[in-house]
Structure 1
């Protein structure tokens, strides 16, 4: 037995020495997750406390499930949850397939210079903050000189108040998401497509398959596992739409459809100082996301896919 332990120890030592630079490279990433993802989990205990900053976590009184009961009894909770789920559904239905479609289209482009140019143009919006995206949208959509409304008026129609309309909030939101993130989302799919054996395409062409059949029978099955993994991760963000984007579009006129869990947490937690209550909402979000990821992963494995784990 001692010999076996020594052998295993020496093998581990050899592996560490052989891959030392690899471990050095991943160390900052591990440190980031430990500091900013795992360490803050300790703060979730205030969800079960009446947290007072001057008392600290250890000195605050425990109240059990009081804040969760309040959340579920809140008159606006169902409306806020509904708004969040509707926006997530729009992301899943309208945004999620677009990077796949763009990657398939870009893969069919044979002119390298044109392909690189298009990729650069659709990547650029990702590097703009939501403040810039919202500002550009404001300049284009405002009724006071906005180019969209000026075109509408030019063709004889009545101007539309896009920015203050509840009916236009959701289309405006999803179009901004598509504009900013669709191009960036193609990177993973293009990398997966690049790993497909070109001999499969050559064999398909010999058999008389056109471009569409090659995509349907070769490319899509090859990247199916990547699509499944990204879909599972996307489902995990069901209640995580991002505070900044929605908050920049939120106003008193569209609040009935624009108020989501993230903006509600900001209002209750930071502006009103209800730290325990906002922590309980965050705990609820995380629990739902984890449960959905596990359920989606289990379903994917039953369907024969690898899943996330």
Structure 2
């Protein structure tokens, strides 16, 4: 064992640096979670803050905004999960069927590009396009599909659709990478045997490719379910405004508002902790369900 460690010392050094980074930035700050149960004030240390028990959690549940932020968070996240999760799988399967290598690379490059742009940049682009004098209105007016200009981001009814479609557009190509990698690991002999048996490309996709990448799909699904309370804070923050606030106020933006803007650090930490606890429960539940259904688990 010591000889193996000595032979791989540089790999261990790299791993140790990552572990140290996680301890400093992920584990040590967890001490601050105790302010969820205290009335913390920045003028005195955490140890001197008075204990208030579960008062912060009760206040959040009784808050008038609780049902609004919960509805928006779950609504956006579940629709993203329902539509946005299977699309990269379908896209990866379609890319895998392309016989032209040049076309495949071109499609991959075009679909990957939006991922490398921050939501600050894309948010500015979308805000401009969706304005009443923006590109979308110009196109629709010229095609005769609308008779008057609309400020799409100014209407709450449009916000969920804009968030979901823009998120899929940005991450579709990048999310398909892991599925393409899993497909690349499928044995060519399986396809050759299926071809000899007279299977069509669709049949090979359904009976060979999909079952072969099922473990990958399962693991990513479990992770997606555990993150259902995450609504992509960056995206929503740059797209929300005072006109669509009723549809754009999610847990993350609520925590940002009460925590940083209103300086209610204990209350915001309690909301964040409650969200993490629920996410952990969802992770365990999704992991157990997938284990019973197909025997594949994350842990």
Same fold (TM over 0.5): yes
Deviations 1:54-76 (A, max 9, x none): 21111111111110010111011
Are the aligned partners of 2:56 and 2:266 in contact in 1 as well (CA < 8 Å)? yes
Task: Tell me the matched-pair count.
Answer: 297
**Corresponding residue for 1:8?**
none
Q: Which moved more, 1:20-29 or 1:124-133?
A: 20-29
1:275-294 correspondence to structure 2 within 5 Å: 275-294=265-284
Deviation at 1:299, TM superposition (A): 1.2
Distance, in Å, in 1 between the alignment partners of 2:169 and 2:50 is 47
CA RMSD of aligned residues (A): 1.3
Question: Among 16, 19, 44, which residue is 2:33 paired with?
Answer: 44
Give 3-state SS (helix, strand or coil) of 2:213's partner: helix
**Corresponding residue for 1:74?**
63
Q: Is the counterpart of residue 271 in structure 1 residue 251 in structure 2?
A: no
Q: Is the counterpart of residue 177 in structure 1 residue 158 in structure 2?
A: no
**Corresponding residue for 1:153?**
141
Question: Among 200, 219, 223, which residue is 1:229 paired with?
Answer: 219
Deviations 1:25-66 (A, max 9, x none): 323332332222222211100000000112111111111111
Give 3-state SS (helix, strand or coil) of 2:285's partner: helix
Question: Among 250, 258, 264, which residue is 2:248 paired with?
Answer: 258
Distance, in Å, in 2 between the alignment partners of 1:29 and 1:299 is 32
Are the aligned partners of 2:127 and 2:239 in contact in 1 as well (CA < 8 Å)? no
Higher relative contact order, structure no. (Cα contacts within 8 Å, ≥ 6 residues apart)? 2
Distance, in Å, in 2 between the alignment partners of 1:113 and 1:151 is 31
Are the aligned partners of 2:132 and 2:151 in contact in 1 as well (CA < 8 Å)? yes
**Corresponding residue for 2:176?**
186
1:200-239 correspondence to structure 2 within 5 Å: 200-239=190-229
Distance, in Å, in 2 between the alignment partners of 1:32 and 1:208 is 54
Distance, in Å, in 2 between the alignment partners of 1:126 and 1:147 is 22
Are the aligned partners of 1:104 and 1:215 in contact in 2 as well (CA < 8 Å)? yes
Distance, in Å, in 1 between the alignment partners of 2:18 and 2:183 is 27
Distance, in Å, in 1 between the alignment partners of 2:196 and 2:14 is 45
Give 3-state SS (helix, strand or coil) of 1:240's partner: coil
**Corresponding residue for 1:133?**
122
Distance, in Å, in 2 between the alignment partners of 1:184 and 1:150 is 30
Q: Which moved more, 1:217-226 or 1:36-45?
A: 36-45
Distance, in Å, in 1 between the alignment partners of 2:78 and 2:130 is 25
Distance, in Å, in 2 between the alignment partners of 1:85 and 1:120 is 32
**Corresponding residue for 1:4?**
none
1:108-147 correspondence to structure 2 within 5 Å: 108-144=97-133, 146-147=134-135
Distance, in Å, in 2 between the alignment partners of 1:152 and 1:238 is 34
Q: Which runs of 5+ in 2 are unaligned?
A: none
1:19-98 correspondence to structure 2 within 5 Å: 19-98=8-87
